[in-house]
Structure 1
Amino acid sequence: MFTVIRYAEIDSTNSEAWRLLERHQASANTVIIAKRQTKGRGQRGHIWQSDLGGLFMSVILQPNLAASQAHQITLWTAWGIAKALNETGANVKLKWLNDLLIDRRKLGGILTETKIEANKILYAVVGIGINWTNEVPDGAIALGELPTTLSSMDELIEVVLMGIEMGQTRCDREGITGILAEYLEMLSDRYVRKTIDGRELQGQIIDIRPTGELVVRWEGNLKDAIYQPQNFSVGYQ
């Protein structure tokens, strides 16, 4: 069961989650939702545009994982949310590591932050932003414009939380392997084009490791390349 705390406006739902934890005013499965964020955060220090009509949510989790497995939280969250949204008639695909796409356009993103003690994850705060009825930038898409069974923001919240719970439960029971196989199948594009050291490379995503790394097979290279999430971006093809 989730406990939901709502705000009209806040700097960042992730920041508020950490503040509430520090004050012992929140615990695992607390959900913070804001109608608008003034300082929403994305991956790699990017600002997450947080206009009215979007879903801006952070979920506090206490996963039983080693620090080295932290990226699994983003992977199972993205997989679970995509699966749950697809049950509503949406056609959500994934972009490694943390993006939700429809028709190759960005629907939403996930930002996972963790507190580590003795190489174990003490708490994780999973921030989720999804375009619902808000204005979206070029290259993005809003779910509220599409034909799904969802009729309100509250229904969207319910589906997203169900997806997170589904991902965490499956990972707890079976480990991440099965989720990773399905995650790979749900990628919007497995083809990668990248300029590295001045060379234009083309290749294919062939695997995602349990620690979150991407495995790419570049054309003309005998050895597969392995990339850390913080050092490599797939980009939009």
Structure 2
Amino acid sequence: MKKEMIKLLLSHNVISEEEAERLDLINDESIEESIKELGFGKTEHITKEKICENLETEERANEILCFRKVFSTNSIAKFLANHSAEEGTVLISEIQTNARGRLGKKWEAPDGGIWMSLILRPNVPPARIGLITLATGVAIAKSIRSLGVDAKIKWPNDVLIHGNKISGVLTEVNATFNEIDWIVVGIGIDSNLKLEDFSEDIRIGTTTLTEELPTKTDENELIAIFLNEFEKVYQLYKNGEIETILKDWRDLSDTIGKYVNITQTGGKITQGYVVGINNVGSLIIERQDGTLEKIISGELRTVE
């Protein structure tokens, strides 16, 4: 990691509240000790070097930052994005102490999972923002399927195995009406974890690669596989080849064809069969009266 970036993080107290209490004791001369003290030292499982062994493109290796423990990779990524961090910067932490999911949901990120954020600066219309979550879901599902498990995508941001969540995506954006400054895409994959590593309320509807596979997952290799898959779909995204992304998403969908209940922002509830998605990633629902409704965002629950 660049010293300038480390100093920036330290000087703005963005590492964690607990660690920030010690910042007054830190000065530029002791920066290397500061890194170690604040948890930026040697990671135990994940390293840039091992990830890069399996990367097919150098673009994703532009700036890979591996942390032992931070409070939120997305929060740090947003901070760095606002301070001119490069397109393609990847932040990975073995532990997150204050992880969060979509709509402010609780998210646990203990040791043994893959918790990462990507900083993107695509030159695309802001109307295309919603598609990056779907594209990321495609990359995650393909990565997990490469391990021999039947991963599927649940709209808008989850990846499932046998109906249980294995991964999620949190997309955050800074944009105007006319252009995108940055997109931060947060990814969590429950890899080398057991269900008992999570609190009881999180275990319901959750699975892990430990539960699904007979052997331990090489996390560095899986991260590289994901970054390779993401690079392919991201190039399609930037080039406007949206139909290819949507075809992959439909092929991997766990949502299309199901009867669902969707709670939208403001509390509006829509029920009906999912008949597809449109070219900006909105879900198309056929209601009981036969009319169609476009859902831009919401909390989806399958009705058995």
Q: Same fold (TM over 0.5)?
A: yes
Aligned to 2:233: 167
- Picking from 206, 214, 218, the partner of 2:283 is 214
- Picking from 142, 152, 157, the partner of 2:208 is 142
CA shift at 1:101, angstroms? 0.4
- Picking from 93, 107, 127, the partner of 1:68 is 127
SS class of match (1:161): helix
Per-residue displacement from partner, 1:107-129 (whole Å, max 9, x unpaired)? 01001111114521111110000
CA distance in 2, matches of 1:95, 1:17: 25
Stretches of structure 1 that go unaligned for 5 or more consecutive residues are none
- Give the letter aligned to residue 282 of structure 2: E
Aligned to 2:261: 194
Per-residue displacement from partner, 1:43-75 (whole Å, max 9, x unpaired)? 111121111111100011111222221111111
* Higher share of residues assigned strand: 1
Tell me, yes or no, if the aligned pair for 1:68 and 1:211 is still in contact at 8 Å.
Answer: yes
CA distance in 2, matches of 1:182, 1:195: 23
Written as runs of structure 1 = structure 2, the 5 A alignment for 1:90-101 is 90-101=149-160
Tell me, yes or no, if the aligned pair for 1:150 and 1:156 is still in contact at 8 Å.
Answer: no
CA distance in 1, matches of 2:262, 2:236: 37
CA distance in 2, matches of 1:77, 1:30: 16
CA distance in 1, matches of 2:190, 2:262: 30
Change in Cα spacing, 1:195 to 1:188, as seen in structure 2 (3 Å) is: closer
CA shift at 1:182, angstroms? 2.5
User: Which protein shows a greater Rg?
Assistant: 2
SS class of match (1:32): strand
Q: Within the alignment, does 1:7 sit opposite 2:67 as a pair?
A: yes
CA distance in 2, matches of 1:93, 1:149: 21
Aligned to 2:15: none
Q: Within the alignment, does 1:176 sit opposite 2:236 as a pair?
A: no
CA distance in 1, matches of 2:101, 2:163: 19
Change in Cα spacing, 1:178 to 1:22, as seen in structure 2 (3 Å) is: closer
Q: Within the alignment, does 1:47 sit opposite 2:106 as a pair?
A: yes
Indicate the percent of aligned positions where both proteins have the same amino acid.
Answer: 30
Aligned to 2:293: 225
CA shift at 1:171, angstroms? 2.5
SS class of match (1:76): helix
Aligned to 2:18: none
CA shift at 1:147, angstroms? 3.3
Stretches of structure 2 that go unaligned for 5 or more consecutive residues are 1-58, 196-202, 264-268
* Higher share of residues assigned helix: 2
- Picking from 86, 93, 103, the partner of 2:162 is 103
CA distance in 1, matches of 2:163, 2:89: 32
Aligned to 2:9: none
- Give the letter aligned to residue 237 of structure 2: C
CA shift at 1:201, angstroms? 7.5
- Give the letter aligned to residue 261 of structure 2: K
Which TM-score applies when normalising by structure 1? 0.88
Per-residue displacement from partner, 1:124-152 (whole Å, max 9, x unpaired)? 11000010122331211111333389741
Tell me, yes or no, if the aligned pair for 1:80 and 1:163 is still in contact at 8 Å.
Answer: yes
CA distance in 1, matches of 2:80, 2:241: 30
Tell me, yes or no, if the aligned pair for 2:167 and 2:189 is still in contact at 8 Å.
Answer: yes
- Give the letter aligned to residue 106 of structure 1: K
SS class of match (1:49): coil
CA shift at 1:216, angstroms? 0.8
- Give the letter aligned to residue 281 of structure 2: G
CA distance in 1, matches of 2:164, 2:217: 21
